Structure 1
Amino acid sequence: MTVRRPRFPDGSHVAGRQNLRLLVQLRWIAVLGQVLAIVVAVDGFSLALPLFDMALVVGLLILYNCFSQWRLKWHLSVSQIELFLALLVDVMALTAQLYLSGGATNPFIFLYLLQVALAAVLLRRRTTWMMAGVTSAAFAGLVLTRHHGYTLPLDLGGGLDSPFVLGMLVCFALNAVLLAAFITRITQNVRARDARLAALRQRASEEEHIVHMGLLASGAAHELGTPLATLDVILGDWAHAPAVAADPELRQDVRDMQAQVQRCKTILGGILMSAGEVRGEALTRTTVTAFLDGLVAQWRQAHPAARLMYERRIDADAAVIADQGLQQMVFNVLNNALEASPALQRLTAVLEDGQLTLEVRDRGPGFVPEILRSLGKPYRSTKGQPGRGLGLFLSHQVARSLSGTLSASNLPEGGACVTIRFPLSALTPEDADGPAE
């Protein structure tokens, strides 16, 4: 079964459509409010209003809202420009109704502030200020139409020379500016908070994933300990058997199997240590150069056919603790480099200004763009096998636990580069002045 991916995975498509639907609902309320206001003004207050012109404005607003509601049936994104134009239509309709019913002296003129508030919530900062300017200009235009002698169907008195109307204009402009400024700031704070909460939830989910993996690894290590011990005993008995002792080739095979069993037991011990307390007391103290040299020697011993070029640029050695998590992280990156480029791998270690940088390069095909975009997420692999894609994910988590970063890129000359950078203080023991083991 083919699963269709959403065209807008970041959620902007859904948010834009929801905002447009909100404006449609508010516009129906505005249409109903205008009809009721006209009925009350004519029947209740006996005001002479141009009913045909005002009904025409209401009819055009209804047609536009029907179009907007039909627009929602299109499975397309709703842009900021479209939302701004929708609010602009509402401002134009309100301006026309106010012009036909008293201009700037109409008490409903402060409904302009609702448009500014909606713009501050739904739109970006620049378009919000544009809406504040448009509404202020509309207010001033309504004042100037009467001031310059244009005939209004309903004259409630007052003009630009009236201190009351002039004060209303200044008050409106001030309210529009404050609304745009404070609501924009509040919405930005809310969005930033939501982004931080989303990041925390993502991190908690990743850490929970790591906990489950640690439990599984610990359980597997305990379960495999018994059969490995049994194999070790059996191989020891075989080594002393007369038939094996008399055959040099068979005796060497038994020794090789014993060495591999001991290596498996060492790996399981490291898994148990890492699954428990990564920075626990079982970790030994060493130096940066000794730790890195030992790490490279151990990896070369496990991969004798590999061609690893190792360069270390460390001027002043320092005491550190042998972190099993860091060692396994470097092993994962080197294993990926070996698989992508069996011909050559390069490891460069640089200690500068208290920052330790480990750079692993290869001459393989490089990372595909999807892997680079989703770096640090589990099960992102191009190998097409279930359960793959955890190496970089775990390495990313270990780097973060050391207050560092892990980044990947493709080289211009071909191949890939993975850079691990973290402060050396993350590996520094409390009694750094003591002797290293």
Structure 2
Amino acid sequence: MKDFRAGLRLRPFYGAMLKGLANQMETGAHPFQFGNKARQLRVETLSKLRWLALFGQLATVLATSLVLRFPLPLALCLVVIGVSALLNIAVRLLAQKTLRLTVGPATSLLAFDVLQLTALLYLTGGLANPFSILFLAPVTIAAVSLPPRQIVLIAILTALAASFLGVEHQPLPWYGGQPINLPWLYQLGIWLALLVACVFIAAYASRVASEARALTQALNAVELVLEHQNHLSQLDGLAAAAAHELGTPLATIALVTKELSNGLLPPEYSEDILLLTQQVKRCREILGRLTSLAVEDKKVFNKTRLSIVLEQAATPHRQDPVKITIDAKGEGNEPSLPHSPAIIYGMSNFIENAVDFAKNTVTIQCRWTAYQVRVVILDDGPGFPLNVLDRIGDPYITSRALRRRKSDEGAGLGLGVFIAKTLLERTGAKIRFSNRETVGASVALEWSRSRIENTNE
């Protein structure tokens, strides 16, 4: 029972720590720049992209005018390119390279890029210019670095610019000053193709970037959880080291106290010497416990029966009216596990979800053989929504309210399940989410017995 009580003392701490990390990630208040801050572009990145575009524009304009000798307003084109270059120089001088642009400045700079490209295309043929495809560049950058509202604004600005160029522009430079009059249907097709490409690329790039950020943030949260656990596991060693270091000065104090007690001191000091001797003895006892803490803890947590681990995971969530029952049986001896916070937290998270969704009963079935261990968590709630069933375990799935019996603020099948699933998979677990044939949901976990009995997570 000693290991069971110790586990109950530790479990609320792990739960509070992990829930705190999840809340920090969802609000973006974390040094890893979670949330919207993960979208922000560095000034240096945007500046380099603009320089690349400007050198491309300059090379194209000069080649058109000097090599191909097509007539075009070269001076005005150079002015348009020069204005953008001056802005880029000003941004680099006024802002640090590592500065990350907030939504407003980033949106303004990308909007300027759209307008600058519009001015240049106006002077060189409008949508008939093959380089009108470059409208997709600022839209793509916005899609991967800005929130949805600003992405829509940049896309609308691009659509308006393309529409303007479709009706107003200078002639397309060509041999001998001969004008090229493209059929209006062909120009309409170019305009429509640009709009469709802008919408598709914005949606596609935004979705891919969002999923990549979500996965990265969730993996960072898992690493933070494991890092905190490693720090906790090292506390016993630090306590033993501190006790060892304090042993020498304490021995000196004890020796001096003994010499003083044997000496010829005035009677009024005898009580003080006796008190000092008692306190030295007490300090020795405390240091003795600290020195043996690492060894004692290893004995306490060396091996824990699987049913006790399940009880540790389930106890914090026992509450009316939902009843939690544990059904553990199998072939041969019950598996014994090294103390694993990853297993305790992971199963506790799934049990907590089951309790929240259940109407009356949550059943934890545990079966084992000589080669395999299987734990199934069952509830009698509404089951998993079919539209998210195949995506449970991915970070930031927020449709839990469709199934949840309680409407707690911030509830969702998202980061908590992802962390629990990741931690359990690191111990060798295979996890399967499904709905029961009658009513409720099922979370099945399977381990190789040799793996779970020797896990170090």
Normalising by structure 1, we get a TM-score of 0.48
Q: Which has the larger radius of gyration?
A: 1
Using CA pairs under 8 Å that are at least 6 residues apart, name the structure with larger relative contact order, 1 or 2. 2
